[in-house]
Amino acid sequence: MWWLLACLLQGCAATPAAPHWQVQGVQRIGHSAGQSAATYLELGKFYQARGQLELAAGAYAASLALDPRQLGARNAQAVLDARQGRLEQAATALQALVRDYPDAAQPRNNLGYVYYLQGELAQASAMLGQAAARAGGTALARNNLQLVQAAQAALVPAAPVVAAAPEVPAEIEIINGNGIRGMAAHMRQRVREHGMAVSRLANLPGFRQARSQILYAPGNARQADALRQILAQRGEAVPLVAVASLGRGAGIRLILGRDQA
């Protein structure tokens, strides 16, 4: 459940040029004159944008060794933890950042999104509302708040009925939005192993999907949640998004983002 998560949690920005430093493996970044906490932070972002997460973690650790209380590297490390499924660890770090930087929008936005991934929708909504009210966080926080509100709406119980018709298996589409060859076919096999049928594979033009999502049309909420739980078995926190229609007769559409890389 993203560059995946880093884009929506940290905000999309132009990728910085790689600093010309000597790196001898994870966690072994040599300090030298002119290498500050800020330059290590930028190096970590550079690695994270390219999916080199262990090197990114090493750069963030080097940045924090030079300035342990800074906002930037602490926030980036928390985002990295969330991306790798360590949601409790990310939430704890972001809660500390919210306390240390009460006027900053970014840690509140990120904490709200982590709450969302944990299924704590009320806490997510409140935290994202606080982020939207602060300078610099309005657009990103409102985007995430819309995801939370859609999830909350999907959980509103329907009026009871006397008898319900048997549930028809949903038509599931898997869309490759990250450009990795064979990703959609691999995911189809995983889904089939859990007894769910996939009717169609396709590619998303441009392959620019940052974060994976499960879209579902009315009447398919339970099966969409079952698909979400299948992915969660391997630590993939993929959000559900209710839509009015998907077209092509599909009931569920799984869009694979760069968080699945």
Region class of 250: left (phi > 0), else alpha (psi between -120 and 50), else beta: beta
Residues contacting 153, CB < 8 A, separation 6+: 242
> How far apart, in Å, are the Cα atoms of 252 and each of 89, 96, 193, 222?
31, 38, 17, 11
Reduced to 3 states (helix: H, G, I; strand: E, B; else coil), residue 146 is helix
Instruction: State which H helix or E strand residue 242 sits in.
Output: strand 240-242
Burial 35-59 (b: 16+ CB within 10 A, else e): bebebbbbbbbbbbbeeebebbbbb
Roughly what angle, to the nearest 10 degrees, separates helices 71-83 and 53-66? 150
Q: What's the pLDDT tens digit per position in 17-29?
A: 433 333 333 334 5
Q: How confident is the model at residue 261 (pLDDT cuts 50, 70, 90)?
A: low
Q: What's the pLDDT tens digit per position in 150-174?
A: 888 887 665 565 554 556 788 899 9
What is the third-level CATH fold of 4-154?
1.25.40
Roughly what angle, to the nearest 10 degrees, separates helices 105-117 and 121-132? 160
Q: Can you tell me the distance from the alpha carbon of 246 to that of 257, in angstroms, rounded to the nearest whole number?
A: 18
For the cut 70, the answer to whether the pLDDT of residue 184 exceeds it is yes
Q: What is the mean pLDDT of residues 222-242?
A: 86
Question: 182 near 256, Cβ under 8 Å?
Answer: no
How is residue 86 written in tokens?
Answer: 């360590």
Select from 245, 169, 177, 257 the least CA-distant residue to 212.
Answer: 257
For the chain, give the percent of residues with pLDDT over 70.
82
What is the third-level CATH fold of 172-260?
Alpha-Beta Plaits (3.30.70)
> How far apart, in Å, are the Cα atoms of 20 and each of 36, 39, 45, 64, 150?
14, 11, 14, 20, 44
Domain boundaries, the chain: 4-154, 172-260
The residues facing 200 across adjacent strands are: 173
Q: Can you tell me the distance from the alpha carbon of 165 to that of 41, in angstroms, rounded to the nearest whole number?
A: 56
